[in-house]
Structure 1
Amino acid sequence: SQTLTDKEYQRLRDYSIQIIREIGVETGGSNIQFATNPLSGDVIVIEMNPRVSRSSALASKATGFPIAKFAAKLAVGYTLDEIPNDITKKTPASFEPTIDYVVTKIPRFAFEKFPGSEPVLTTQMKSVGEAMAIGRTFQESFQKALRSLETGRFGWGCDKKEKLPSLEQVRSGLRTPNPERIFTVHHALVLGMTVEEIYELTAIDPWFLDKFEELVETEKFLKRIPLPMINKQQLWEIKRQGFSDRQIAFGTKTTEDEVRVYRKRLGVIPAYKLVDTCAAEFEALTPYYYSTYEEESEVLPSAQRKVMILGGGPNRIGQGIEFDYCCCHASYALSKEGFETIMVNSNPETVSTDYDTSDRLYFEPLTKEDVLNIIEAENPEGIIIQFGGQTPLKLAVPLQKYLEELAAGTASSTDNQLPISKIWGTSPDSIDTAEDRERFEKILRELDIKQPPNGIARSYREALEISRRISYPVVVRPSYVLGGRAMEIVYSDMELERYMTFAVQVEPEHPILIDKFLENAVEVDVDAIADHTGEVVIGGIMEHIEQAGIHSGDSACSVPFTSLAAEAVETIRNWTYQLAKALKVVGLMNIQYAVQGETVYILEANPRASRTVPYVSKATGVPLAGLASRIMSGETLESLGLTEEPALKHIAVKEAVLPFEKFAGTDTILGPEMRSTGEVMGIDIDFGKAFAKAELAAGQRLPLSGTVFVSTNDRDKPSVVPVVKDLIELGFYVVATEGTRKVLKQEGLEVELVLKLHEGRPHVLDWIKNQEIQLIINTPSGYDAHAEGRLIRRTALGYKIPIITTIASAKATAAAISSLQSQPLEVKALQDYIV
């Protein structure tokens, strides 16, 4: 802590021990939260959890003291003085960790994914991930943590042009806790507000505000002095405050590369210090490093062949622990092959940042500056960028450029005598080909692979012309945003105009991508692995349960596929082989297809690990990430014994975990923009049971009897008829709104009428609140899903009633209920399925 007095610190320590003993915790970890009044010194206990918690993981990474590991050993009978400290190898676990550095954790938020939910921070957790940074000072670790978040910021201000808000807007932003308040404090100081004024509005301790004020003074210094006028001592002090090269470049009106060259010419390079749990009292034998700007570096020399793995940074919607799984398994596999593995990551929630997952751990931001610094300190033989998601891929081009300059002798390096590192696996050029729409379309034309009709619009008029030419509905999205952000399906000129007006700003430099939306198409994911000889093996073909139009990360899916025609599967296999060879893939590749009737279309290809790799690996028993890492080191598929697609006798269903309960005001419908924050898997011999297990694991309790409420949009009314028929045969009582009931009646299905909100009482909400409904099938009407449907879905969520918003999911749910009614679920270990 930075602001607690020693007396306060000792008192909280004593209180913690007393509480643990009073509660009766005999062994294991506990988490206790206090609130202290800085004015009076009063202390209040907020809560106590007799278990390890989220903060236990953070504390373990911050100190190098593995709380959960020690708790497990204590549970089987060890005492603290019998457990050795892994890092020092000399001290026992009964030595409390002490540190001589500062750790800062900053949460990452995703309110933009949940429109209708107010971006206000309360006692309910709303962050989707976090980043952690270590430095010698608070300012250094704070700025490193901010750039570790990967939100486009390279520190606390002084990194991009910003239009300053008015003082009244700043005061309003300071009063309410919100994700951007830390930057509002920056605006306040730049506009001349005093520390006292900011403290009155925020109650942020003046100690922190004084440190922030020092950073603003340094920023002002950078903006009034040319780069060559900054001397070595001044540059040391600026870097010790955590300023990145990008910030210094912005302040001095130069480029990041120019700052890097100048900094290294002056000899201002980072030193790497060890996390040792004992404030350097004992020697640390586990290489767990952080950077700071001091003279002496503690990096241990090594003659082993080294490979660096770039992690995925903080968890976020679209990029989570699925990629961390790949990084960890790559490290395990390469370590077994005799390589010294170097992990670079900034996420305290992950296994990759455990000090024993790799041979060397660098807890650093994944930016160009920080990664190049580590490359120069370690000089690895290979650098792996395809396991950490989009984060390391964004570094592919600048890394390749730097390594090419180094090879040509034109880059500024600390030691030009060392061998040159190489990016292992698929080349950055191939990665760029897959991401560049025009280059990728050229390859597809050469291979005669079909794509949905599409176009690129640089104005509203162009967007209108393209949409009418390829015919509605169309999928529209910005070209400059990843992960489904701001992506929508539009069905008319009016909806397109609304999207172009309110959702995005179309400009010549920021065009809009428009694709024909394939209605009633089945989406298919393929994970494949290829080696340098051109051999390709498919790891798994996954059939999405939700129809095309739902983001792949939010859709349930099954492996193996359950309903695809043999001709379509053959086409998918052939196109996968052709594309992997055309893109010269070495390692993993993911391709998404859409099957509409008998026609197959390709949606996108990513020559990297995808979020489905852990799912496919667990479903098939084939460790794709580990094998891919060995292929990148030069081995072949044949030498690894992987020559054919795995054949399964069971079915594994993946389901998304959605956080709608945390975001009041957000509709629960699914669409092309990803919203899930996690996933689960169900496995069984039968599809229905596998789906049921996945739903139960995701927190959705499927009823085996009771009343089902059905209300669908006009497009879905014909498709819902067989689902309702199945539910009636399963013994359910069905009620429906007037329009849906009319269609069901025409098909000979008698169901009871339920009134809409404006039609009188008792209406559908009364049924829900009286707990007379056990299952809801409610599909929205495009973008203009009226307030009534939204209110029904939010109310059902509050009463924990399962709600289904797509017909595909309704069909799978009926199959799951049928399986559950026929016989109970059987529990088996994963190893019993993977023979």
Structure 2
Amino acid sequence: AEQIGYPVIIRGGFALGGKGSGRATHAEELTELCKVAFVESPHVLVEEDLTGWKEIEYEVVRDSADNCITVCNMENVDPLGIHTGESIVVAPSQTLDNTDYHMLRSLALRVIRHLGIVGECNIQYALDPRSRAYRVIEVNARLSRSSALASKATGYPLAFVAAKLALGATLPQLRNTITGCTSADFEPSLDYVAVKVPRWDLQKFRFVTDQVTSEMKSVGEVMAIARNFEEALQKAIRMLNIGADGLYPVPFQFPDLTREVKRPTPRRIFAVAQALRSGWTAEEVSIATGIDRWFIERIATCATMADTLEQSTFRVLDHPTLRHAKQLGFSDAAIGSLMRVDAHAVRSLRIQHGIVPSVKQIDTLAGEFPAQTNYLYMTYNGTADDCASVNASTCSAPMIMLGGGPYSIGSSVEFDWCCVQATHELQKQGHRVAMINSNPETVSTDYDECNDLFFEELTEERVLDIVERTAAKGVVVSMGGQIPNSLAPKLARHGVHIIGTTSENIDRAEDRHKFSELLDTLSIDQPEWREFSDLQKATAFAEQVSYPVIVRPSYVLSGAAMAVVHSSEDLEAYVGQSAFIHKEAPIVISKFEQGAKEIEFDGVAQDGMLLLYAISEHVENAGVHSGDATMILPPQRVNLETLRRLKIIARSIAHALDISGPFNIQFLAKNNRLKVIECNLRASRSFPFASKVTGHNFITLATQALLHTADTNARYQTVDLDHVGVKAAQFSFSRLKGADPRLGVEMASTGEVACFGQNAEQALLTALLAVGFRMPKKNILLTIGSLEDKVDMLPAMQELIRMGYSLSATKHTHEFLQGRGLSSALLYKLSENRSPNIQEYLEKRRVDIVINIPTHSTPRERTDGYYIRRLATDHGIPLITNVQLAKRLIEALAQEDLDTLPLLSWPGIVDRTV
């Protein structure tokens, strides 16, 4: 660092997603960054700081005969210093001149030949915008995140071609699978632009910094395709499903606009949009952000149109202006909002005047040779359709499958699996299927998984466009999660046929008031709840049902900010943090059932008749979101009478809602009483898990139920199995600097695993190992908040000592153990500023695992417990924050030998049961 001069960039070797990376401006910062990087990697890279340079990527393939082509080049809108996974990316590059483009292309070909790579590789460059100086940042001689994006952006099947080349084929021998009429030795040509925008969910984490850096924090991404950058960017923003109709109207308030423009965060694109309508010039914004002026000028074009629309009267809106607005990517809803009219009025006007999108195809050829493909997008910058496959007069009308949209916390690959499985079953039954999705990371957006792929936004406007253009038989909304499910009533109002459970019954389950009335009618118990627009009345209700209570806004942008509150002071603080409550934005308060077990019921019904179900129990008690909970199937600690009553209640609800298709019910069980939390008339995130553990494909049967073709006489065994499956959550707290890694009612996990065992203990240990949890060898730190939890954990702590573990504990936990004759070493908290100190032990990795059970109070500040959890996470030390999970883990360690855990194959183990 001293040799090349500060500032420098630190990167952990072999770390994905920029993990452990950062920018150091002096030696002290370098030391701190290296400490973090060495937790994840055996060595670090110290590199020249190129912050502010352009970042360009090329995807290259080469065969054993030295045939070599560049498949795609991509440009990051954000300058270097922001991880490419965190940046808006455009393909092909937009600001390179011909000289720069071919210089970098030639270099890419020279590099892949010099390295002798056969297959596919990705090369990343830094390019100085003030000169032609460049640096090769890295070469990935493998398929990468960028490879997936390039493949979807061009239609060139990179993974397929790379596999064939590895087996000895040459590029001229391979057919281009999307066209069928050209060879793979043909560089794709694009007559459109693809824009990728990341999706973040940072608002779900307390204390996390929202600054975007060289370390990835995004959980998903979308890709939009259009004929100009403006249209593609606005489509991509809508695809994110964060409540924005595009760049305008800007959905956020910026008290300090200058700071928001200069500071890279998930909201900066909106701050740029606001600045351009607030008098900033494109040059000023470009200097403040480091973003090339060309991109800023394109956004400025949209700002000018937003001004025009806002200052115009809808009754006299001229058609050229409306058409131009649509060509710039403004949605009907955005135009309506800017002009203070309903979106449906805008839709009616443009259809009346023939302003409708064209259907264009991605063929890798830019129309140079005639080709018919099923990879489609829609644009207002076209005068005719590219293909006949969407014309109902020349092709059978399809069923439309709505995908899940971007991966986010709460919606991930589970729903994509459901969409793909359902698509295959529909095709098997003779139906043509058109998929609509916007996520380049998914299998559902592979063009060979369906009859027609529309790489498009999942909005009311665009789905209606496609339904009308294809004369679709109907739309499947129950497989892709909450985004398509929430579109059901909107589509139904336009006369669109919802395949499966009716939109009216979907609404009865989704609407809290209607569903509550239904449960009362069926004499099914539920937690007490009310909706409030007044803090005083809310407090009175909370005191009436007794604290703790769960509080959530009835509607919140991009996800519910739920919390468990234990006092009127906590409730008042929650309301203050969530914004002032009023009639248009009430809060919902429901009684929180302490000590209750949460149970999931995944089912398939046809015409209200239950056909197939799976019951899973949560290891953690209620209070941990179902997406974060450790699930066991079949349930191990639920008695037969409870299982019988679960089934009776589920049958009753399925019949009352006349369900045809998948559904999920969440129950609370306490003292032999069952209460229903909610019912979702769609596939749940646990459907793939239930399908694989039981050996019965829930989605295949659910798809048959949608079509009313399922065999109602078939019987399925899902309870008495010879094996046990455990689903465990994968968390990314180590990437989210500052975030509190404790579990709660708001989902925090970014992935999951499922593992099998001959019993629950084997399955649990295997699942925890699969998410990277290192089992303790000797030293365990215990810090348990409440006396109730200490007493609950006592047998488990006794078992740890019996097994030979050495226990360390904070003061009150240490005294509790000492008082019961159990030995432990006292460690002082950070605030006590004494040795031996927890910070010293964790930094020196003298602890194998931390069991930190927080108190039940709602934390409003960074406590000692927070710093213990954060230190453990930052130093890669396994952390458990839940009593039930800690107890089950200790029981499993006592019962099973980690060295002899059986390796069970799937589907082999399931076949023996089924």
TM-score of the superposed pair, with normalisation by structure 1: 0.94
Match of 1:147 in 2: 238
Residue 156 and residue 698 in structure 1: after superposition, are their counterparts in 2 closer, same or farther (change >3 A)?
A: same
Asked if structure 2 preserves the Cα contact closer than 8 Å seen for 1:669 and 1:805, the reply is yes
Distance, in Å, in 2 between the alignment partners of 1:422 and 1:643 is: 31
Asked if structure 2 preserves the Cα contact closer than 8 Å seen for 1:328 and 1:357, the reply is yes
**Aligned to 1:356, which of 431, 448, 453?**
448
After TM superposition, the structure 1 = structure 2 runs for residues 332-351 of structure 1, keeping only pairs within 5 Å, are 332-351=424-443
Asked if structure 1 preserves the Cα contact closer than 8 Å seen for 2:606 and 2:705, the reply is yes
Q: Could you say what secondary structure the match of 2:551 adopts?
A: strand
Residue 183 and residue 299 in structure 1: after superposition, are their counterparts in 2 closer, same or farther (change >3 A)?
A: farther
**Aligned to 2:729, which of 656, 679, 682?**
656
Residue 692 and residue 644 in structure 1: after superposition, are their counterparts in 2 closer, same or farther (change >3 A)?
A: closer
**Aligned to 1:470, which of 537, 540, 545?**
545
Residue 186 and residue 646 in structure 1: after superposition, are their counterparts in 2 closer, same or farther (change >3 A)?
A: same
**Letter matched to residue 513 of structure 1:** V
Match of 1:411 in 2: none
Distance, in Å, in 1 between the alignment partners of 2:339 and 2:579 is: 32
Please list every run of at least 4 consecutive aligned residues from structure 1 whose deviation after the TM superposition is greater than 6 angstroms: none
How large is the Cα RMSD of the aligned pairs? 1.8
Match of 1:172 in 2: 259
Match of 2:526 in 1: 451
**Aligned to 2:322, which of 235, 249, 254?**
235
Q: Could you say what secondary structure the match of 1:236 adopts?
A: helix
Match of 1:696 in 2: 769
Q: Does 1:274 align with 2:366?
A: no
Distance, in Å, in 1 between the alignment partners of 2:686 and 2:649 is: 19
Match of 2:782 in 1: 710
Distance, in Å, in 2 between the alignment partners of 1:504 and 1:674 is: 21
Distance, in Å, in 1 between the alignment partners of 2:868 and 2:136 is: 39
CA deviations 1:535-586 (Å, max 9, x no partner) are 2034310100111100010111110101112221111111111111111111
Match of 1:325 in 2: 417
Asked if structure 1 preserves the Cα contact closer than 8 Å seen for 2:796 and 2:891, the reply is no
**Letter matched to residue 142 of structure 1:** L
CA deviations 1:272-314 (Å, max 9, x no partner) are 0110011111233331111112221124244435210111111
Asked if structure 1 preserves the Cα contact closer than 8 Å seen for 2:241 and 2:558, the reply is no
Distance, in Å, in 2 between the alignment partners of 1:125 and 1:140 is: 26
Q: Does 1:379 align with 2:451?
A: no
**Letter matched to residue 2 of structure 1:** Q
Residue 822 and residue 248 in structure 1: after superposition, are their counterparts in 2 closer, same or farther (change >3 A)?
A: closer
Match of 1:311 in 2: 403
Match of 1:426 in 2: 501
Distance, in Å, in 2 between the alignment partners of 1:686 and 1:645 is: 16
**Letter matched to residue 853 of structure 2:** T
Match of 1:740 in 2: 813
**Aligned to 1:828, which of 887, 897, 904?**
904
Match of 1:588 in 2: 662
After superposing the two structures, state which structure 1 stretch, 801-810 or 279-288, moved more: 279-288
**Letter matched to residue 640 of structure 2:** A
Match of 1:541 in 2: 615
Asked if structure 1 preserves the Cα contact closer than 8 Å seen for 2:435 and 2:452, the reply is yes
Distance, in Å, in 2 between the alignment partners of 1:264 and 1:740 is: 70
Deviation at 1:759, TM superposition (A): 5.8
Q: Could you say what secondary structure the match of 1:660 adopts?
A: coil
Distance, in Å, in 1 between the alignment partners of 2:514 and 2:710 is: 28
Q: Does 1:87 align with 2:192?
A: no
Match of 1:295 in 2: 383
Deviation at 1:504, TM superposition (A): 4.1
Distance, in Å, in 2 between the alignment partners of 1:538 and 1:632 is: 14
**Aligned to 1:133, which of 224, 237, 240?**
224
Residue 482 and residue 171 in structure 1: after superposition, are their counterparts in 2 closer, same or farther (change >3 A)?
A: closer
After TM superposition, the structure 1 = structure 2 runs for residues 153-302 of structure 1, keeping only pairs within 5 Å, are 153-158=244-249, 165=254, 169-293=256-380, 294-297=382-385, 298-300=387-389, 301=391, 302=394
Residue 637 and residue 759 in structure 1: after superposition, are their counterparts in 2 closer, same or farther (change >3 A)?
A: farther
Distance, in Å, in 2 between the alignment partners of 1:70 and 1:176 is: 41
Q: Could you say what secondary structure the match of 1:800 adopts?
A: coil
Q: Could you say what secondary structure the match of 2:448 adopts?
A: coil
**Letter matched to residue 397 of structure 1:** P
Match of 1:108 in 2: 199
After superposing the two structures, state which structure 1 stretch, 497-506 or 289-298, moved more: 497-506
Distance, in Å, in 2 between the alignment partners of 1:33 and 1:478 is: 44
Q: Could you say what secondary structure the match of 2:478 adopts?
A: coil
After TM superposition, the structure 1 = structure 2 runs for residues 627-642 of structure 1, keeping only pairs within 5 Å, are 627-638=701-712, 641-642=714-715
Deviation at 1:501, TM superposition (A): 2.0
Match of 2:697 in 1: 623
Distance, in Å, in 2 between the alignment partners of 1:559 and 1:256 is: 46
Q: Could you say what secondary structure the match of 1:424 adopts?
A: coil
Match of 1:597 in 2: 671
Match of 2:639 in 1: 565
Asked if structure 2 preserves the Cα contact closer than 8 Å seen for 1:272 and 1:299, the reply is no
Deviation at 1:733, TM superposition (A): 1.4
Q: Does 1:802 align with 2:893?
A: no
For structure 1, the 5+ residue unaligned runs are 404-420
After TM superposition, the structure 1 = structure 2 runs for residues 465-544 of structure 1, keeping only pairs within 5 Å, are 465-481=540-556, 485-532=560-607, 534-544=608-618
**Aligned to 2:511, which of 424, 436, 439?**
436
**Aligned to 1:21, which of 104, 113, 127?**
113
**Letter matched to residue 354 of structure 1:** D
After superposing the two structures, state which structure 1 stretch, 347-356 or 28-37, moved more: 28-37
**Letter matched to residue 825 of structure 1:** L
Q: Could you say what secondary structure the match of 2:330 adopts?
A: coil
Asked if structure 1 preserves the Cα contact closer than 8 Å seen for 2:361 and 2:375, the reply is yes
Deviation at 1:230, TM superposition (A): 3.5
- The alignment of Structure 1 onto Structure 2 pairs a total of residues equal to 810
Match of 1:812 in 2: 888
TM-score of the superposed pair, with normalisation by structure 2: 0.86
Asked if structure 2 preserves the Cα contact closer than 8 Å seen for 1:478 and 1:504, the reply is no
Residue 228 and residue 499 in structure 1: after superposition, are their counterparts in 2 closer, same or farther (change >3 A)?
A: closer
**Letter matched to residue 890 of structure 2:** A
**Letter matched to residue 345 of structure 2:** E
Asked if structure 2 preserves the Cα contact closer than 8 Å seen for 1:637 and 1:643, the reply is no
Distance, in Å, in 1 between the alignment partners of 2:510 and 2:549 is: 20
Q: Could you say what secondary structure the match of 1:497 adopts?
A: helix
CA deviations 1:188-243 (Å, max 9, x no partner) are 11111111211211121111122122111222221233334334433332211111
**Letter matched to residue 474 of structure 1:** V
Asked if structure 1 preserves the Cα contact closer than 8 Å seen for 2:402 and 2:458, the reply is yes
CA deviations 1:670-719 (Å, max 9, x no partner) are 0001111111111111211211111111111112x301111101131111
Distance, in Å, in 1 between the alignment partners of 2:310 and 2:731 is: 45
**Letter matched to residue 637 of structure 2:** S
Match of 2:756 in 1: 683
**Letter matched to residue 827 of structure 1:** L
Residue 395 and residue 570 in structure 1: after superposition, are their counterparts in 2 closer, same or farther (change >3 A)?
A: same
